[in-house]
């Protein structure tokens, strides 16, 4: 699909994550010390919006039942049962624009 603009770097403070709707998909973009990472926003457990959970370092904790995922690569980290990883996407920053490659 290509490179789609998600927003401006100023939209996402360090240590924060934000949901962007890009081309009908909800994508979470996180800023970890000035590096940006993107994953699907939907938790692979029951579909909660991960961006409404917590971000601690690069660990996203789902706000519903506390499943954990790595925002750098979408890998499942922790939950009482094994969950699928969330899809991760490459992020490119040009000037002050944050692009996600879908």
**Binding residues for ligand FES, per CB under 6 A?**
43, 45-46, 48, 62, 64-65, 67
Contact criterion met (CB below 8 Å) for 65 and 45:
yes
> What's the closest the beta carbon of residue 47 comes to ligand FES, in angstroms?
6
Smaller CB separation from ligand FES, 48 or 87: 48
Sign of the torsion formed by the C-alpha atoms of 16, 38, 95 and 32:
positive
Smaller CB separation from ligand FES, 65 or 75: 65
Smaller CB separation from ligand FES, 77 or 102: 77
Sign of the torsion formed by the C-alpha atoms of 61, 5, 9 and 90:
positive
Residue 90, token pair as written in the block: 């490459």
């Amino acid at each position: 699909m290509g490179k789609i603009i998600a927003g401006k770097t100023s939209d996402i403070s360090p240590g924060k994550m934000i949901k962007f709707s890009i081309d009908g998909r909800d994508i979470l973009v996180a800023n970890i010390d000035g590096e940006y990472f993107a994953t699907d926003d939907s938790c692979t457990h029951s579909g909660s919006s991960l961006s409404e959970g917590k971000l601690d370092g690069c660990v996203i904790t789902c706000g519903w039942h506390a499943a954990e995922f790595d925002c750098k690569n979408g890998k499942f980290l922790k939950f009482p049962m094994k969950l699928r990883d969330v899809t991760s996407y490459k992020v490119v920053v040009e000037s002050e624009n944050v692009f996600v490659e879908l």
